[in-house]
Structure 1
Amino acid sequence: MKALLLYPKFPQSFWSYDRFMEIAGLKAVLPPLGIITVAALLPQDWEIRFCDRNVNPETDADWEWCDLVILSAMLVQKPDFHALIQKAVHFGKKVAVGGPYPTSVPQDALDFGANYLILDEGELTVPLFLEALNQGQTQGIFRSIEKPDVTISPIPRFDLLKRDAYLMMAMQFSRGCPFNCEFCDIISLYGRKPRTKEPSQSLAELQTLYDLGWRGSLFIVDDNFIGNQRNVKRFLRELIPWMQQHDYPFTFITEASVNLAEDDELLELMHEAGFYGVFLGIETPDQDSLEVTRKLQNTRSSLVESCHKINEAGMLIYAGFILGFDGERSGAGERIQAFVEQTNIPQPMLGILQALPNTALWNRLKAEQRLFDSINHPTGDQNTLMNFVPTRPIAEIAKEYVEGFWTMYEPANYLRRSFEQCLRIGSLKGRKQTMQFPLGKGLGLVAQVIWHQGLRRSEIRWQFWQQLWTILRHKPQVLNMYLGLCAAGEHFWEYRALARERITQQLGYDPLKVLVLPEKDVMLAKF
């Protein structure tokens, strides 16, 4: 069998770091871990070609060569995913699809002409698909209610990647999350019982990347790395000596719940292992909204103090925030801005709440008949208006979103937060670097940052140089981190304009240009 594995394009988004990628000479932030794991599950006698369309588009010769096309996609990749299915049908190729998007909404893939749907988790469903192929079946849907033991998951085919095109490599330690947030689709896709790989298994993946020559940052893509705290500590205790023996070839970043701040031992182990950053799902500082959305783990301790403690443990904080929860009080956007100022989180991801398919939120809103037509309403982008009827005016939520994003990513504000966060980062003992760039990319990136922010941008020129000088004098260990954040600013300063434009298109007017009249003037204006 000749199989062409394709990963669809991402639209420009918060996480695409387009301008950063351009000035760094890179193509994409992360490789698609799911589809290269599927590649490892395919028979060894198959011929495989893989193209991440965000890095290297496939050719007409690839389409002519293959017998079978295999696609994997997330919801945000919907447009290119659909186009690729249609192209496969046009060329008369059988097409098999999988990943989070088809698993959540399988009918979409069927409607566009997919032959095989390999849903849920591939360790259990890829063998079912292969058996059907051997029996000559020309179509099928392969599902599993059971969740696989991830200790049987193979080492992903990292060798298929154009590794020098990515900012980071990726690996997975666990699947699932023990919490029950109403809006989250992770528990519907992967369950509430975190399943982890064995430490030796994860070290074998790291050794594979090491042997392939990768040096730099690694994103551990778990949706909650600390979901199983006992097993993650087992892994970290074996990771630390491996890192020491290999002279710290990698630094790590991951996603975790805020209760990370409650476990001093876990913070220390992550620090010693080389973790330089963590993404936290903070969502909102409003306790009542956290309770409504069942994010109770964020209500147990002060969120500001938790952030400070994680900083002091040596980690940079990335964080997600959401507007549009049921019962949300006016001014939620301003309260998020105030929280970001208190914590100096450089890159707050502010989004508008979306009801994702098959989540508890989706099911509740569907029962309440508050969902919009999912076919005509885009879902999955951070700057798309909600796909349901909210409890406060959409225009008000949209205005707070655009104002918040515009203000937080004003260049001087962004640079100041990046600077303050770097200064707050705690002890970096035993660590060579806090953030690593791919080999051969660092010097070019630094030169671009100096050109754009130290020379070209007059509004932040002196701020940049003053902050850089302070970092060099007082905390040179975080220089890479600071310059990396500065470079990312080039992306966000363009993206905030795009986010504003997208919301303006959906509303029919620019929310930042609307005059908000006092109530008595509104009454007069009606006449």
Structure 2
Amino acid sequence: MKLGLIAMSGVRAHNAELSALGLTLPGFIERNRVIASLPSLGLLTLAGLTPQDVDLQYLEVADITQVDGVPQEFDVVAISSFSAQIGEAYELADRYRALGTRVILGGLHVTALPMEALRHADAVAIGEGETVWPAIIDDLRAGNLKPVYDARGTNYNFADSPMPRFDLLDIERYNRLTVQTQRGCPFRCEFCAASIRISPTYKIKPVERVVAEIQSIKSLWKRPFIEFADDNTFVNKAHSKELLRAVAREDIRWFTETDLSVADDVELLDMLRDAGCAEILIGLEGTTFSGIDGVEQRTNWKAKRVESYLEAIRRIQDRGVRVNGCFILGLDGMGTDSFDAVWEFVQQSGLYDIQITVQTAFPSTPLYARLKQEGRILRDEAWELCTLFDVNFQPAKMSVAELEAGLRSLVSRIYSDDVTKARRAAFHRNYRKKLRQRAAA
């Protein structure tokens, strides 16, 4: 059996004007391009569960318009994609099926809308793929592939996680590789379409499993840069410190995403840089209580912390760890004054990096359900707009045109070469000053 694992994650702004703007501002959509260039850890993990006697190949298809027919012929293909590119994934799936190739679709979008995906596949995998993949392989071999493999309701133990097949990659193509240390998130943000949609419960991977994956990467790439593919890495502080102590011994540089509570634990903060942490991305979302009120639906945690944002950023960056502050434009509590407010906050905070996106209603999220009920989804099933830069809903306190114009204006200011260079130079000056102060103390 010849099996192809095909990743389709070449997300790009659908709005032509935004795409053109991005080409003139090196910082704009920089993070989005990094995400799009990452290999699919999910598919590499499934490869690790695949028996050795299966003829296996991993491919990445960034743009279906650049492919004549299919990229390569297989007996079976498993395709994974983001919502923004799911239309292209379906087109490729249809091309394969026309050749008689069996097609399996999975990932976040397929888990959200399995019956939509099944129109283009012989089988769909719903939920955590590790749970159902062995059965899929067995059924393929027996010639008895079922249409639906549903992992929901099962409790996958992260201690059983397989070693991803990093050896399938052409390492020189990447500037970073991913390792997952946890899955899920204790917060319930209305807009979130990340791994919480696959794993509703928060779970951690044993530290020894994480270290083994890092060492596997190091066997292929001597000094790698690693991104922890987590939604919120430092939720469990005791586990986080155990992880940091182990990672510090591996002599790597890495990036991850977490929440603002990392700034509350001085011991953990002091461990970050020694463990090789270069930068952390934190979802700040907005700059005022009213702007983000209700976004986190369990305890309204983010809105309650907004007054501590500046101090938290200072504490983290004083340790030499860069903060990438993520802001979401167009939340229901935000009017047109929010664009200037974000600009002023960025200037005041000294953030090293900034990620600006627009609120996006992803399928099967609480946000999409609410906006659909309120009649505020601009075009139903327009998944190509789920890029984080295109507007797919009617904002509450501004027009669509005002939100698009505000985004363009803000990114022009924040990501200009001069502003970016000045912001990053200020970070390095401040850190050198802190080092001198500590040495003199």
Task: Report the TM-score range of the alignment, normalised by the length of the smaller protein.
Answer: 0.7 to 0.9
Alpha-carbon shift at residue 198 of structure 1 (Å): 0.9
The 3-state SS of whatever aligns with 1:63 is: coil
Q: Does residue 331 in structure 1 map to residue 337 in structure 2?
A: yes
Moved more, 391-400 or 278-287: 391-400
Aligned mates of 2:213, 2:195 — CA distance in 1: 25
Aligned mates of 2:107, 2:266 — CA distance in 1: 36
**Cα distance per residue 1:251-291 (max 9 Å; x no partner):** 01100111111111111222221101011111100111222
* Counterpart pick for 1:297 among 302, 311, 321: 302
Q: Does residue 405 in structure 1 map to residue 411 in structure 2?
A: yes
1:383 is aligned to 389
Aligned mates of 2:56, 2:266 — CA distance in 1: 46
1:321 is aligned to 327
Contact 2:127–2:151 under 8 Å retained in 1: yes
Contact 1:121–1:147 under 8 Å retained in 2: no
Shift of the 227–191 alpha-carbon distance from structure 1 to 2, 3 Å rule, reads farther
Shift of the 150–314 alpha-carbon distance from structure 1 to 2, 3 Å rule, reads same
**Cα distance per residue 1:16-38 (max 9 Å; x no partner):** x987999xxx9974222111111
2:439 is aligned to none
Equivalent residues in 2 for 1:419-430 (5 A)? 419-425=425-431
2:374 is aligned to 368
Equivalent residues in 2 for 1:458-477 (5 A)? none
Contact 1:290–1:296 under 8 Å retained in 2: no
Shift of the 377–356 alpha-carbon distance from structure 1 to 2, 3 Å rule, reads closer
Contact 2:127–2:199 under 8 Å retained in 1: no
The 3-state SS of whatever aligns with 1:373 is: coil
Aligned mates of 1:27, 1:180 — CA distance in 2: 23
Corresponding residue pairs, total: 418
Aligned mates of 1:63, 1:87 — CA distance in 2: 11
Give TM-score, length-normalised by structure 1: 0.73
* Counterpart pick for 2:365 among 317, 341, 359: 359
* Counterpart pick for 1:151 among 159, 162, 166: 159
Aligned mates of 1:128, 1:71 — CA distance in 2: 17
Contact 1:316–1:425 under 8 Å retained in 2: no
Q: Does residue 285 in structure 1 map to residue 287 in structure 2?
A: yes
* Counterpart pick for 2:231 among 207, 223, 236: 223
The 3-state SS of whatever aligns with 2:178 is: strand
Alpha-carbon shift at residue 421 of structure 1 (Å): 2.2
Q: Does residue 140 in structure 1 map to residue 140 in structure 2?
A: no
Alpha-carbon shift at residue 59 of structure 1 (Å): 9.1
Shift of the 323–60 alpha-carbon distance from structure 1 to 2, 3 Å rule, reads closer
Q: Does residue 344 in structure 1 map to residue 346 in structure 2?
A: no
Contact 1:27–1:165 under 8 Å retained in 2: no
* Counterpart pick for 2:269 among 259, 267, 270: 267
The 3-state SS of whatever aligns with 1:299 is: helix
Equivalent residues in 2 for 1:16-415 (5 A)? 29-54=37-62, 63-64=72-73, 66-111=74-119, 113-145=120-152, 146-186=154-194, 188-191=196-199, 193-240=201-248, 242-243=249-250, 248=251, 250-294=252-296, 295-297=300-302, 299-300=304-305, 301-376=307-382, 378-388=384-394, 390-415=396-421
Aligned mates of 1:58, 1:166 — CA distance in 2: 21
Shift of the 55–32 alpha-carbon distance from structure 1 to 2, 3 Å rule, reads farther
Contact 2:259–2:282 under 8 Å retained in 1: yes
Aligned mates of 2:224, 2:264 — CA distance in 1: 29
Shift of the 200–428 alpha-carbon distance from structure 1 to 2, 3 Å rule, reads farther
Give TM-score, length-normalised by structure 2: 0.86
Q: Tell me the amino acid that sits aligned with residue 195 of structure 1.
A: K
Aligned mates of 1:224, 1:5 — CA distance in 2: 27
The 3-state SS of whatever aligns with 2:385 is: coil
The 3-state SS of whatever aligns with 2:5 is: strand
Q: Tell me the amino acid that sits aligned with residue 78 of structure 1.
A: I
Aligned mates of 2:431, 2:232 — CA distance in 1: 22
Contact 1:188–1:359 under 8 Å retained in 2: no
Aligned mates of 2:417, 2:431 — CA distance in 1: 21
Alpha-carbon shift at residue 406 of structure 1 (Å): 1.2
Q: Tell me the amino acid that sits aligned with residue 338 of structure 2.
A: A
Contact 1:324–1:386 under 8 Å retained in 2: no
**Cα distance per residue 1:298-352 (max 9 Å; x no partner):** 5335111111111012211112111111132330011011111112324322111
The 3-state SS of whatever aligns with 2:262 is: helix
Aligned mates of 2:63, 2:168 — CA distance in 1: 12
Which 5+ residue runs of structure 1 have no aligned equivalent? 430-473, 475-527
CA RMSD of aligned residues (A): 3.0
**Identity level (%):** 25
Aligned mates of 2:427, 2:385 — CA distance in 1: 32
**Cα distance per residue 1:338-373 (max 9 Å; x no partner):** 111112324322111111122222222233333333
Looking at CA atoms only, which structure, 1 or 2, has the larger radius of gyration?
Answer: 1
Contact 2:86–2:384 under 8 Å retained in 1: no
Aligned mates of 1:100, 1:59 — CA distance in 2: 27
Alpha-carbon shift at residue 201 of structure 1 (Å): 0.8
The 3-state SS of whatever aligns with 1:4 is: strand
Contact 2:241–2:268 under 8 Å retained in 1: yes
Shift of the 340–61 alpha-carbon distance from structure 1 to 2, 3 Å rule, reads closer
Q: Does residue 6 in structure 1 map to residue 15 in structure 2?
A: no
Aligned mates of 1:425, 1:109 — CA distance in 2: 50
**Cα distance per residue 1:470-516 (max 9 Å; x no partner):** xxxx9xxxxxxxxxxxxxxxxxxxxxxxxxxxxxxxxxxxxxxxxxx
Aligned mates of 1:27, 1:163 — CA distance in 2: 16
The 3-state SS of whatever aligns with 1:183 is: coil
The 3-state SS of whatever aligns with 2:398 is: coil
The 3-state SS of whatever aligns with 2:293 is: helix
Alpha-carbon shift at residue 152 of structure 1 (Å): 0.8
Contact 2:48–2:163 under 8 Å retained in 1: yes
Aligned mates of 1:231, 1:138 — CA distance in 2: 40
Aligned mates of 2:322, 2:303 — CA distance in 1: 19
Q: Tell me the amino acid that sits aligned with residue 94 of structure 2.
A: Q
Alpha-carbon shift at residue 58 of structure 1 (Å): 8.5
Alpha-carbon shift at residue 216 of structure 1 (Å): 2.8
Aligned mates of 1:274, 1:52 — CA distance in 2: 29
Alpha-carbon shift at residue 192 of structure 1 (Å): 5.1
Shift of the 187–219 alpha-carbon distance from structure 1 to 2, 3 Å rule, reads closer
The 3-state SS of whatever aligns with 2:167 is: helix
Aligned mates of 1:355, 1:86 — CA distance in 2: 26
Aligned mates of 2:253, 2:241 — CA distance in 1: 17
Contact 1:352–1:382 under 8 Å retained in 2: yes
Shift of the 377–205 alpha-carbon distance from structure 1 to 2, 3 Å rule, reads closer
